[in-house]
Amino acid sequence: MNEIILRVRELKKNFNRRLVFDKLNFEVKSGERLVITGKNGSGKSTLLKILAGVLTESSGSVEYILNQKKIDRENIYQIIGLVSPYLVLYDEFSAFENLSLFAKIRNLKISDDEINKILTRVGLLERKNDLLRTYSSGMKQRIKYASAILHNPLILLIDEPTSNLDIEGKNFVEDLILNFREDGFVIIATNESQDFKYGNRIINLDEYKNNKNK
């Protein structure tokens, strides 16, 4: 059984002169489900990108500790899956080709059958050979989920989980979040009150807006 801890300390981010959030401190452990909320523009997506290691913070620190060992920044991509409205997959390839390329680039030992299984889970099996260019926005959201769980990550970061999804898609997401592996954790950024039920803890980013010490 793995134990993973995310430790965020005094995290601050500004874009040029705009402060997004400051003095953010929290910890997330295996088995938890954290919901991050806040107004539009409060920095939910920004925070998730920083946690995923694709955006640099202005100050403060983000640490992942797996079984008491700190994970290097270059390697956290191996344990994280991200779903985000900003995520764009390669639209000149089909769903299957995208996943199979990602598996190869990640150096995963994964068979075509397993890829098909994941495609079945997200309900795209019939359309797996169509180019993503021809996908609807809901289908694109589904393939993002497929790419996020492909490597069986310990950590799932989901930005606006149910956007563009139909009932069936929403059920899949609910199942994914509630039955996520027990040694991992999920962080959900959302504004929809119906999504709040997924979390066992809520952080409201609006509370980290003003720089009180200034």
Partner 1 sequence: MKNFWKFLLFVLMTIVIIGTFVPPIVQYPKSFFEFPLIPGLEDKARIIFFHVPTAWLTVLAYLLAMFYGIRYLKRKDMYDDIKSVSAAALGFVFCILATVTGSVWAKFTWGSFWHWDPRETSIFILLLIYGAYFALRSALDSEEKRARLSAIYSIIAFLTTPFFIFIMPRLMIGLHPGSLEIDPATGQVRASSNPVIKFEMAANMRVVFFLSLIAFTILFFWFWNLAHRILKLEHVSQKEI
Partner 2 sequence: MKKIFYIFYKDFSSELRMRFALNALIMFVVVAVSTILFSLGSESVAPNVYAGMFWVVVFFSAMSGLSRVFVSEEERGTTLILSLIANPVTVFLGKFLFNLVLIFFINSVIALLYMFLFQEFLIQNWNSFLLAYVLGNFGISASSTIIAAIISKANVKGTLYPVLAFPVLLPLILMLIEITKSAMEGNPISDVEAELLVLISYDVVMITASILVFDIIWRD
**Which residues make up the interface to ligand ADP (CB under 6 A)?**
15, 18, 20, 38, 40-46
Is the Cβ of residue 18 or residue 214 nearer to partner 2 in the bound state? 18
Dist. CA 148–CA 171, nearest whole Å: 17
How far is 24 from 154, CA to CA, in rounded Å? 23
42 binds Mg ion, rule: CB under 5 A: no
Question: Measured from the CB atom, is 31 or 149 closer to partner 2?
Answer: 149
Shortest spacing between CB 16 and partner 1, in angstroms? 5
Scan residues 41-100 and list those touching partner 2 (CB under 8 A).
49, 52-56, 74-75, 77, 80, 82, 84, 86-93, 97
- Examine residue 54 and tell whether it contacts partner 1 (CB under 8 A): no
Binding of residue 19 to partner 1 (CB under 8 A): yes
* 3-class DSSP state of 47: helix
Q: Give the nearer residue to ligand ADP in terms of CB position, either 41 or 201.
A: 41
10 alpha carbon, distance to own chain's centre: 21
CA distance 30 to 3: 6
What are the residues whose beta carbons fall under 8 Å from the beta carbon of 54, sequence distance 6 or more? none
Question: Within 13 Å and on the Cβ side, how many CA atoms surround 204?
Answer: 6
Q: Does 129 participate in binding partner 2 (rule CB under 8 A)? A: no
Give the interface with partner 1 as residue ranges (CB under 8 A): 15-19, 58-59
